[in-house]
């Protein structure tokens, strides 16, 4: 699947939004990727999961489990687990802290792939990586549908995405849309 195919899929599903948005990171942007509008369609979710899993296999990354941050990464994480033939679990944010709940756990030295829908600053992904390492897992790679940083965010492990591009993001005080009197819309899952 080519990068332009992924962009077109987002457009076709009205999942590539233009306007004035407050991202989960707190940054503002005129572009928002609402991957849930694509992932609500099981066949599309399966296809995207398989395409992303293909990158993992082609690069000989050995994976024992997939871990995704809730809420955005859960569906694509499940699809990646299925495509790679490994279990897929997710983290949750409780009291501002990322945790494994619902009886989920990782084993000592278990090779884990962290899967996210969209990466902007990488904060959620970093929190998941740190929690997994603290629990003894070995994070071997990061994968996402969209990388808004064009590969600039470094996780210290290989990273893979279906669509990597630089999308401008601004601190609220530097946001040109705010300076023109615009009000940002919040779609993200983090408060």
Confidence of residue 189 (pLDDT cuts 50, 70, 90): low
Q: Average of pLDDT values for 106-118? A: 96
Report which of residues 114 and 149 the model is more confident about. Answer: 114
Radius of gyration of the chain from its Cα atoms, rounded to whole angstroms? 16
Q: What is the mean pLDDT of residues 177-189?
A: 85
Residue 3 predicted with pLDDT over 70 = yes
Fold of 3-186: Rossmann fold (3.40.50)
In the chain, at which residue ranges do the beta strands (DSSP E only) sit?
A: 16-22, 28-33, 65-69, 87-94, 97-100, 111-119, 138-147, 159-164, 185-186
Looking at residues 89-106, what average pLDDT do you find?
94
Domain boundaries along the sequence of the chain: 3-186
Is pLDDT above 60 for 191? no
134 contact partners, CB below 8 Å, separation of at least 6: none
């Amino acid at each position: 699947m080519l990068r332009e195919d992924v962009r077109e899929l987002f457009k076709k599903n009205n999942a590539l939004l233009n306007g004035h948005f407050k991202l989960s990171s707190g940054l503002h942007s005129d572009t928002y990727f609402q991957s849930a509008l694509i992932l609500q369609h099981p066949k599309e979710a399966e296809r995207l999961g398989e395409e992303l899993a293909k990158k993992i296999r082609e690069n000989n990354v050995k994976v024992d489990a997939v871990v995704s941050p809730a809420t955005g990464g859960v569906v694509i994480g499940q699809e990646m687990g299925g495509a790679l033939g490994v279990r897929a679990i997710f983290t949750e944010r409780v009291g501002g802290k990322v945790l494994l709940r619902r009886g989920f756990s990782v084993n000592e030295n278990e090779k884990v792939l962290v899967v996210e829908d969209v990466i902007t600053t990488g904060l959620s992904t970093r929190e998941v990586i740190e929690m997994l390492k603290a629990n003894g897992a070995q994070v071997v790679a990061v994968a996402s549908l969209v990388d808004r940083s064009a590969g600039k965010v470094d996780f210290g492990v290989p990273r893979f995405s279906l669509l990597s591009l630089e999308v401008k993001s601004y601190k609220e005080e530097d946001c040109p849309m705010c300076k023109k009197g615009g009000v940002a819309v919040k779609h993200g899952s983090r408060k």
